Amino acid sequence: MAGLASIFASMALSILGLGFLWIGKLSGEIYVALLYLLLAYAVSHYQGVRAALLAVLVPALPMALLIVQFRDPNDSHLGSIAIVLAWLTGMTIGAFAADRARTSLARLFICIGAMSLVHTLATACLTLASFGSAMEVFDGKPASLDARLVDRAADILMQPMLGLLEHGPGLSATGQWIAFGINSLAWGTLLGMLLAMALRAWQGPAPMPAG
């Protein structure tokens, strides 16, 4: 039953990826790759790397083969190939990260929550600092190098959600907070997995998974 659910989930994610490509929101493909990473991690955690790659990769292949047929405005397939490679990278990292970390899901969730909180605080502080710098420029003062670096760092931490919402319909205040939270959770998921793997490496060799 779990294997069937992962197959349907992989197919749904591939359709979502095609949707992002169709509407021209390529930054959304980063979220698709991240969701593939999570799906592969979950399957690998319970069933092993091979099962994860088969259950996640194979159902996505038909849509991946369709996507690589798309051409960009320069009549190149490079953008489409990059999208599929991002999916494959997410799947591979997720499958092997679960095997390498071999940590409990409770610890993983704690690591993800902690890193999401760190990202939220860092983004909020940099955004406020960037806003203050913008006000100084508005008053006629030249932007300093530090101000430009802070502004750039804030933009980076707001990606990929900022790119996904750019030129789109405006969000309500609640919608903006939700988007901000999703973005921090996405960053926290990736950083939390790396933290869980680092903790396992620091503690010594990973134990064999329970049968």
Q: How far apart are CA 1 and CA 63, in angstroms?
A: 23
Among 49-58, 104-113, 124-133, which is the least confidently predicted range? 124-133
Beta-carbon-side half-sphere exposure of residue 65 (alpha carbons within 13 Å): 6
pLDDT by residue (tens digit) across 162-187? 766 765 566 677 877 888 888 888 88
pLDDT at residue number 117: 92
pLDDT by residue (tens digit) across 55-79? 898 899 989 898 888 877 777 777 7
The model carries a pTM of 0.65
pLDDT at residue 201 above 80?
no
Q: Which of 145 and 154 is assigned the larger pLDDT?
A: 154
- If DSSP codes are grouped into helix, strand and coil, which group holds residue 118? helix
The answer to whether the beta carbons of residues 157 and 119 sit under 8 Å apart is yes
Among 44-58, 115-129, 131-145, which is the least confidently predicted range? 131-145
